[in-house]
Amino acid sequence: MRAEHINPFVVATVNAFETLVGCRVTRCGLELKTDYAPTFDISGIIELRGSATGVVAISLSRDAALGITGALLDLCPTEIDAEVVDAVGELANIIAGGAKSKLEVLEMSISLPKVICGQSHKIEFPAEAKPISVPFDSPWGPFCIDVGLTY
């Protein structure tokens, strides 16, 4: 994956949180993923197709998923339910769409979001992809964005 292609996903993530839930998130580094296991228990996944093919996933801690859903929908969820799953899917969709608009040269289309819940789930990236993980901290807890593209 080319380093210049990760920045649109980082910017789209920061913008999504500021716009949707009115909060700032802090990037906590950048690392090359060595496996397909997400860091947290719930992941919103979007497939990307075009001149580049791949996957972007937002993986959230339980507390972050509940807090973000509460802020988005003005609710107080206490468990991962349909509203939380929908909110995580919508957040993934907004991040992917925001990054796509900055990566027009790759002529990508995005899939509908999939959301996977539970410990030890896997995110399937293209076999040749070397995904990059960008951890963040939010007022509700940690989350990360994982992006893997092939060209």
Q: Is 40 left (phi over 0), alpha (psi -120 to 50) or beta?
A: beta
CATH number at residue 43: 3.40.1550.10
Q: Is the pTM of this model over 0.85?
A: yes
- Range list of β-strands (E), the chain: 26-27, 31-32, 42-49, 53-60, 109-110, 114-117, 132-138, 141-150
The span from the CA of 17 to the CA of 21, in Å, is 5
Sequence-ordered list of residues with C-beta below 8 angstroms from that of 75, at least 6 positions apart, any chain: 69, 83
pLDDT digits (tens, 9 = 90+) for 96-148: 999 999 999 999 999 999 999 998 899 999 989 999 999 999 999 999 999 99
C-beta of residue 129 within 8 angstroms of C-beta of residue 1: yes
pLDDT digits (tens, 9 = 90+) for 55-76: 999 999 999 999 999 999 999 9
pLDDT digits (tens, 9 = 90+) for 31-60: 998 888 888 999 999 999 999 999 999 999
Instruction: For residue 6, give the nearest of 95, 68, 92 by alpha carbon.
Output: 95
Would you call 14 helix, strand, or coil by DSSP?
A: helix
Q: Which residue segment(s) compose the domain that 70 sits in?
A: 3-140+144-148
Structural domain count, the chain = 1
The phi, psi pair for 64, rounded to 5°, reads -65, -45
